[in-house]
Structure 1
Amino acid sequence: MTVYHPLYHPLSDGWTLRPAVPAVVPSAVLDAGAVPATVPGCVHTDLLAAGLIDDPYLDDNENRLGWIGDTAWTYATAFTWTPDGHERTDLVCEGLDTVATVTLNGVRLGRTANQHRSYRFPARHLLREGDNTLEIRFDPAPAYAEAWRAALGERPGAYAAPYPFVRKAACNFGWDWGPALVTAGLWRPAGLESWSGARLAEVRPVVRVEGGRGEVEVHVRVERTSEEPLAVTAEVAGASVEVPVPAGRRRAVARLSADDPALWWPRGYGAPHRHDLTVRLRDARGRAAGEWRRKIGFRTVELEPEEFRLSVNGVPVFVRGVNWIPDDCFPARVTRDRLAARFAQATGAGVNLLRVWGGGLYESEDFYDLADELGLMVWQDFPFACAAYPEEEPFRTEVEAEARENVTRLAPHPSLVLWCGNNENLEGHADWGWPERLEGRTWGAGFYHDLLPSIVAELDPTRPYWPGSPYSGSPELPPNDPASGTVHIWDVWNREDYTRYAAYTPRFVAEFGFQGPAAYATMRRAVSGELARDAPLVLHHQKADDGDGKLLRGLGDHLPRPATFDDWHWLTQLNQARAVTYGIERFRALAPHCSGTILWQLNDCWPVTSWSAVDGDGRRKPLWYALRRAYADRLLAVLDGEVAVVNDTDRPWRGELLLVRHGLGGEPLAKEGVPVDAPPRSAARVPLPPAVGAPGDPRRELLVARLGESRAVGFYAEDTAVDFPPAAYEARAEPVAGGYRVTVTARTVLRDLALFPDRLDPAASVDDMLVTLLPGESATFTVATGQELDPGALTGHPVLRCVNETAP
């Protein structure tokens, strides 16, 4: 027997795209014939590159592109193949979206109906020396889903689209922050892999830490064309082992033990150490048949169910999280560099966990590798969201296959700390009237309480599994009960003022949030017409039910009514930042009773008004700067009648808490000092002494709290009731390397000073905002830009804003 390393030939070039059934296709597309296609990619991006459609992210172009998702499409390529001496050649498709028929040289290799899986088709018998043709036809996912809905019966969900009836990212059909752009195409790479004798079909390391030793069980599955003996070797952290794979056997387990390995820690708790794990397959004569390399991390993860408290390496971790949605409707455009930029924004805001939400995808290897490298924990939902899902065939088999593949694929990543069965489906069944509408039909319970936990227990036993979120720990309990498990708080934003966050004493908040518009430059790029709050093209980029009304009502008594678009944009962005800050400060002050918060949401997939901290063009909204303060390692916050001192470091936080009640003119009216000794990983509330807790005139006073380098400012009344003077200040902008330094010196109190340089240069950004100054105080902002800007414009309205400004 001759054994070689597998030989891989990528199939990334020479693809074309054409409609397979032209019934609903515009004539321009028909006349174009076969257009060049990019793999990985999708129909939308290929048509866009060919100039055959307008950008679906701009204006209301989305409305005119529904025909793409309702059309069957054929991708085709021709390639030259030369016999390579191997026994087997497989066509490997890492991602087909979604209902696909694969044909090689006129012979059907197979059909698929699951975006979340990869596929391997034996192809050697069909390959010809010389020219070969490969075609992949993608039938419309909506039609496929509708046919199964008709066959299996209606299932209730948050939206009318039939997304529960096809294994595809649910948000692809449209969501309350995303467009309906139903994709098709080879969304991950494809290629031909040749091999002989045997190949490494699967490697699954199970990593434990016991008694200071790192233990690794490497589970190996081989595919083989011969029954001759094989051997597997594994190496990690200075340890190595070789185990036989006897004749005819297809599985082996290699066990390694490393003395006192450096551990992987999440951000803020230690360094995210990783170790190279190398697995090799050899034949009986010692010749290489395949190699697998990954970086793994030694660490333990435990979950205390009632408290929903995560511990890593035995240390309880307060989760400072954000929810993650697909970063683009067309995921092939999400490169490693783009992920790195988004992760830098997350870590820059103090985030230590990303929740991969269940309406999206199992993300790319780059996603989890970057999380490993940065010490970012990952909570991974299985892709089920906001609907009842059928458990009948073919869906049960598809769900099992995708779960087995992805649990195995992601097992090496130390950043992954939790598997979660679904998003909001347990709550939907309990609280949204589903049982009456289901009339006894399946809805997914068997997946979340039986199939998925059994797969995780079998394949990834070192990680906890949670049936869904929200969930209180037992099917007998209300799913969204704050007393145990996870809670989603959506009465705020939908119905209640954000001060209602103070009424909650949750164990763990897995979703909560408040909307704000995208950055000005993002809106300006996305909307070609008038920028007005109620302009039709602006409203098209607001997908939430009554979203614009909720934005305005959400201002409540907190901020004044906006008179212009510029005021609306500024005040609703500010209100989003205020609302989220209000919730996080109070939830963190509840620690350890509350063990974490996961903001909805970090990112957007297109330019839209939404709950994100970073908009669809990657620009940071005011919320991002507020999140950086609220998620700081050490948080000082003025709450209702007290000051929260939150110390999420491994060092004590000691000193005198200086509390000064000021008049709006800056004059001190009362001063108190309170000694503080906050132990590591602690939260405390310090009651305000009467001299500073009770203002003489709440309309004309404020409170400043200081502890070491930390400072917090609180007002005794809502901004609309405070007797703010018209803003007076001196501002100057001076050129520095890479941009400008803007210095603002207050002559009056300045409430939430902010700078928006993207109004002058779409590529410009600022390092800080939402700074409150007393008279005589100064703040310096650094603006990064590659252009020469007008200093007067940089320091004037509407670029420089504060709550108590007077418009020119």
Structure 2
Amino acid sequence: MRKTFSKMSFQVILSFFSKLYRELFIKLNYLFSIQILKFHTLKLTRIDSNLKKYHLLYYLSIIVFYSCSTIEKDTPIKTTLTNNWQFKGVDTLDWKSASVPGNIFTDLLDHKIIEDPFIKNNEEKVQWVSGKNWEYKTTFQLSDKILKKNNIALNFEGLDTYASIYLNDSLLGQTNNAFRKFNFNIKKIAKKENQLRVIFTNTASKEEIAAHKNPYKLPEGERIFTRKAQFQYGWDWGPKLNTSGIWKDIYINAWDDLKFENIFIKQKELNKEKATLSVEITIESATDKNVNLFTKINREVISSNLTLKKGKHTYKVPIEIINPTLWWTHNLGDPYLYHFNFQLIADGKIKDEKSIKKGLRIIKLITEKDTIGESFYFELNGKPVYAKGANYIPQNSFQNKVNDNHYEKLLSDVVNSNMNMLRVWGGGIYENDVFYDLCDEKGILIWQDFMFACAMYPGDIAFLENVKEEAKQQVKRLQNHASIALWCGNNENLEGWKRWGWQANRKEKEKQEIWNDYLIVFDTILPNIVAKFSETDYWESSPKYGRGNPKYEFEGDAHDWWVWHDATPFEHFEEKVPRFMSEFGFQSFPSFETLKYINQSDAIDLKTDGIKSHQKHIRGFQLINEYMTRDYNVPTNDEDYAYVSQLLQAKGIVMGIEAHRRAKPTNMGTLYWQLNDCWPAISWSSIDYFGNWKALQYKTKNAFENVLISSKIENNAVKTFVINDTFENITGTLKLKIIDFYGKEIWSDAKEIEVLGNSSKQYYNFSLNEINKNTTVLVAEFNNEKSYFYFAKPKDLNLPKDEILKSITKTDKGFFITLESTVLQKDLFLFTNDKGHFSDNFFDLLPNERKIIEFETNANSLDNLQFKTLNTIE
């Protein structure tokens, strides 16, 4: 009894002093309203002289306040509604279980009502799904605690797309945009037991009505009337799978009198000495009220007193950080993030709290007139940064199949491939929060398109208001992300209008009205929203000029599709180098795993109906073969053909990347099309649907190194450049040698050089007059960086044949594979049936040199490891 009494007494005393200190703390805050503090160096940067006498007592109160674990939380209650869902066709099927978040295709697949559209040619068999109306329902309970709250909101993070929402048989409202959140006040109709129904109307029926009302036919098709992922209507790399359903979370949010609506951490001034921030905090309050705001930055605390007004208002809280740590891309420094935690305290209780990770950096798009046109490059923290990366599309036609592990793997692949920028393409989706969080953490810049692609869009008031709200929500959602480098209005809409024949056979009045509607969205609404709700630059349309306009080479960003679409040879990339290449690409077949999956067969067969249905470009197979015939010996069997197609793709794109980088600083960015796939496909991707690296991904990893040795042939002479993307000068020995394919040295030289930071320069030049181009290779080396340069096309190389010696050693993560050969083995490709990742692949194995490859896998053996090289392709 004595121990129990002592424990109870201690709790009573602790509770008493906690309450006392809380009251004291609140009173002190009213007296001691600190506006700017810096705790990074544990120094107070500004204190009113009249308040200095409270300094010690104030900090003592903070320590006591944060050490007391009894402070109450009265924060909003969030209840996610993802369970007990069912679905059915409005006029067919019985009720069946559904997954939320999800979509109608995956629900039908789960119940084996449809065949998997990702295999064989099943895509055409499921088109009926998009033409039907579907209904989803669930029941849920609300606790007395929630029902007693003054405010109860039902929040939909994403409905795809035209939905009518009923709660307890009352119509809450209707939705018309898959990219918007929709919130409904349900305080008056919420009960302990509730039924929620969501009825989806097919897009075609809505689009037909909108098209009929529009005064003229717009390019490209009726998808333009529906605000959802445009690629779902079919693209030249993806299927036509127009989804419907609850594709993001649904939740109840219940609260009483106070809550955060939004927090925007704005940078007023940023340099090495000081970061001056203005935190714009939007708070919704039921009454006029005095509150405390605690801002914890990493481990330090700032307190502010706010006088709230009833309603929704924005309050500015200044913060100063001395000697801030700046955020950099991973290839140039540390992507450092400050951890901000905000607590809203009133009546001695925490009313709401929010955490934000924020990187402090200044990112600008620099477009300035110069002697050849106009620059286009990104400046990070005052330094020009060369952008290296790719265009990104949704990772799956069915977004609910993409989980956090997929994001982690793909974005880790981006970092491991030396990329520092991705362009989120405008025909897909605004990505999930985890995507941008990981880009912040990993130091990857994001060029973010608004979701408009390859079309002209309507300009009626309802559509414009819908777009305006969509843009406002998305920009505010992403406004604190350090990774966001640019907001771009659309993908190729301007190019299409100027060059693709969309103006043909239209009267001048009609053309002017369509163009005015374009300007309202992309020259007024979107840039105004970006300016108001972010600190990010805006670019109207990508590209600025199409390849039919001579200015595309000298101003803005470029999409260069002379290669591929116009069948222009790869050498074009070396002749026409724009200021910033935001799109260029070439197709290849995917991995053997993916080809087998499409056909549902262990054999590699490229002539099946399934393979044909997974090639969405009308001339795709023809163009691959045409280019292959130019540069390679065309294989006679399908397995070798798929392998060489990947080498072909990599050859062309790497030629472009190196040409762009050699032209630095005239050119300051190269983003190829495309990084990934949304389904198993023959496409422009460098990483296929199952996450396998194609030859392009391995070879761009080398081409994107910060320090690159790159050579080209001009007037029968070889010119060798060294490119340095770091900001430091680098000195060392540039070593060059020419060897034959048996390892015999034909010629060599070396010279001491200094490579300036952030530069590209030619450092060597020699004639090819005395060189046998078909039997030799140039090996260049600088500070442990190597490059191999061939003087002839692959099909003209006289490659010898010999055995590849291998030894395999088991490791904790997989296997080490040691390889040797007495002759040069060109484009050595390792493959196995076991799932895993090779540290290097599609590489050249020099004569009599040993190379060790790591294969990360869960497999216990590698008995089925196989090789392919160009040496053995007939």
1:755 aligns with 2:830: yes
Which deviates the most, 42-51 or 370-379?
Answer: 42-51
Contact in 2 for aligned 1:508/1:596 (Cα 8 Å): yes
Looking at structure 1, the residues matched to 793 and 436 of structure 2 have their Cα atoms a distance apart, in angstroms, of 43
TM-fit CA distance, 1:155: 4.9
SS in 1 for 2:536: coil
Q: Which aligned pairs between 1:383-422 and structure 2 lie closer than 5 A? A: 383-422=451-490
Identity %: 29
Match of 1:497 in 2: 569
Distance 2:320 2:760 in 1: 39
- The Cα of 1:122 is off from its aligned counterpart by 0.5
Q: Does 1:636 align with 2:709?
A: yes
SS of the aligned residue for 2:188 comes to helix
1:32-47 equivalences under 5 Å are 33-47=94-108
> Does the 8 Å CA contact 2:635/2:873 hold for their aligned counterparts?
no
1:152 equivalent in alignment to 2:214: yes
After superposition, residues 54-69 of structure 1 pair within 5 angstroms as 54-69=115-130
* Alignment match of 1:140 (pick from 181, 202, 207): 202
Q: Is the 8 A contact 2:278 2:316 kept in 1?
A: yes
Letter in 2 for 1:483: F
Question: CA separation in 2, counterparts of 1:14 and 1:729?
Answer: 58
TM-score when normalising by structure 2: 0.86
How many angstroms apart in 1 are the aligned matches of 2:352 and 2:813? 49
Q: In the TM superposition, what are the counterparts of 1:173-572 in structure 2 within 5 Å?
A: 173-211=233-271, 212-228=273-289, 232-236=293-297, 238=300, 239-247=302-310, 250-283=313-346, 285-305=347-367, 306-436=374-504, 439-440=510-511, 441-442=513-514, 444-460=518-534, 462-471=535-544, 478=549, 481-494=552-565, 495-528=567-600, 531-572=604-645
Taking a change above 3 Å as real, the CA distance of residues 76 and 518 of structure 1, as seen in their structure-2 partners, is same
Q: Which residue of 2 aligns with 1:801?
A: 868
Q: Which residue of 2 is the match for residue 671 of structure 1?
A: 748
Q: Do 1:371 and 1:377's aligned partners in 2 also have CA atoms closer than 8 Å?
A: yes
Alignment of 1:609-624 (within 5 A): 609-624=682-697
- Post-superposition Cα deviations, 1:654-707, rounded to whole Å, max 9, x if no partner, equal 2222222223332222222233211122111234223xx434322222222122
- Amino acid across the alignment from 1:294: I
Q: Which one of the candidate residues 724, 727, 744 is aligned to 2:799?
A: 724
User: Does residue 780 of structure 1 match 2:855?
Assistant: no
Q: Which amino acid aligns with 1:523?
A: L
**Whole-Å separation in 1 of the counterparts to 2:806 and 2:261:** 64
2:353 is aligned with what amino acid? E
> For residue 597 of structure 1, what is the aligned residue in structure 2?
670
CA distance in 2, matches of 1:608, 1:636: 33
The answer to whether the aligner puts 1:6 opposite 2:80 as a matched pair is: no
> Is the deviation greater in 86-95 or in 532-541?
532-541
Structure 2 distance, partners of 1:747, 1:616, is 36
In 2: Cα distance, 1:479 partner to 1:614 partner: 33
3-state DSSP of counterpart to 1:277:
strand
What RMSD over aligned residues (CA atoms) do the two structures have, in Å?
2.2
Q: Secondary structure at the match of 1:699?
A: coil
Gap change, CA 1:91 and 1:317, over 3 Å in 2:
same
- Distance in structure 2 (CA, Å) of the matches to 1:358 and 1:789: 44
Q: In the alignment, residue 697 of structure 1 is paired with which amino acid?
A: N
Distance 1:595 1:229, change over 3 A: same
Distance 2:98 2:216 in 1: 36
- Greater shift, 3-12 or 705-714, is seen at 3-12
Could you tell me how far apart the structure 1 residues matched to 2:698 and 2:414 are?
11
Distance in 1 (CA, whole Å) between partners of 2:613 and 2:828 is 30
Residue 230 of structure 1 contacts residue 246 of structure 1 at CA under 8 Å; is this kept in 2?
Answer: no
Contact 1:208 1:300 in 2 (8 A): no
Contact 1:427-1:479 within 8 A present in 2 as well: no
Matches of 2:481 and 2:445 in 1, distance apart?
10
Q: Which residue does 1:25 correspond to in 2? A: none
In the alignment, which of 637, 647, 654 is matched to residue 731 of structure 2?
654
The letter for the 2-side match of 1:144 is K
Whether 1:698 aligns to 2:766 is no
- 1:702–1:715 contact (8 Å) kept in structure 2: yes
Q: List gaps (5 residues or longer) in structure 1.
A: 23-29
Q: Give the Cα–Cα distance (whole angstroms) in 2 for the partners of residues 5 and 483 of structure 1.
A: 55
Count of paired positions: 779
- Residue 331 of structure 2 contacts residue 418 of structure 2 at CA under 8 Å; is this kept in 1? no
2:615–2:683: 8 Å Cα contact kept in structure 1?
A: yes
CA contact 2:270–2:361 (8 Å) conserved in 1? no
When residues 107 and 503 of structure 1 are mapped into structure 2, their CA distance, relative to the original with a 3 A threshold, is same
Query: Within 2, Cα distance between the matches of 1:142 and 1:531?
Result: 38
Asked if 2 retains the 8 angstrom alpha-carbon contact of 1:148 and 1:165, the reply is yes
2:859 is aligned with what amino acid? Q
Residues 1:304 and 1:746: Cα distance change in structure 2 (over 3 Å): same
Shift of 1:450: 1.0
The aligned residue for residue 71 of structure 1 is: 132
* Deviation sequence 1:264-322 (CA, Å, 0-9, x none): 11122221111122333344x35433222111121111111131111111111100121
Contact 1:12 1:40 in 2 (8 A): yes
Q: Deviations over 1:754-802 (max 9, x none)?
A: 2112xx22x13322122223332232222333335464x42xxxx3011
Q: Is the contact made by 2:385 and 2:725 (CA closer than 8 Å) also made in structure 1? A: no
Secondary structure of 2:871's aligned partner: coil
Q: Which whole-Å CA distance do the structure 2 matches of 1:21 and 1:133 have between them?
A: 20
Separation of aligned partners in 2, 1:66 and 1:89: 39
Residue 229 of structure 1 contacts residue 248 of structure 1 at CA under 8 Å; is this kept in 2?
no
Q: Distance in 1 between matches of 2:812 and 2:330?
A: 31
What's the offset of the Cα at 1:20? 1.2
Q: How many angstroms does 1:219 deviate by?
A: 2.1
CA–CA distance in structure 2, aligned partners of residues 589 and 156 of structure 1: 42
Q: Residues 250 and 699 from structure 1, CA distance in 2 versus in 1: closer, same or farther, beyond 3 angstroms?
A: closer
Change (3 A) 1:710 1:251: closer
Question: Which residue in 2 is equivalent to 1:81?
Answer: 142
Q: Contact 2:676–2:689 (CA<8 Å) still a contact in 1?
A: yes
CA–CA distance in 2 between the matches of 1:747 and 1:156?
Answer: 63
1:713 is matched with which residue? 788
1:240: Cα distance to partner?
A: 4.1
Change (3 A) 1:91 1:249: closer
Counterpart Cα distance in 1 of 2:158 and 2:393: 19
Residue deviations 1:445-474, cap 9 Å, x none?
2211111111111111x21111111015xx
Distance 1:716 1:770 in 2: 19
Report the Cα distance in structure 2 between the residues aligned to 1:153 and 1:622, rounded to whole angstroms.
Answer: 49
Task: Normalising by structure 1, report the TM-score.
Answer: 0.92
Give the superposition deviation at 1:232. Answer: 4.7
Matches of 2:73 and 2:847, distance apart in 1: 78
Distance 2:814 2:330 in 1: 31
Q: Report the counterpart of residue 371 of structure 2 in structure 1.
A: none
Contact 1:485 1:508 (C-alpha < 8 Å) held by counterparts: yes
Could you tell me how far apart the structure 1 residues matched to 2:310 and 2:189 are? Answer: 29
Paired AA for residue 867 in structure 2: L
- One-letter identity of the residue aligned with 1:751: K
Aligned residues of 1:231 and 1:245 also touching (Cα < 8 A): no
Superposition deviation, residue 150 in structure 1: 2.2
Whether contact under 8 Å (2:290, 2:305) holds in the other structure is no
Deviation of residue 198 (structure 1)? 3.0
**Contact kept? 2:640, 2:873, Cα under 8 Å:** no
Deviates more, 1:141-150 or 1:559-568: 141-150
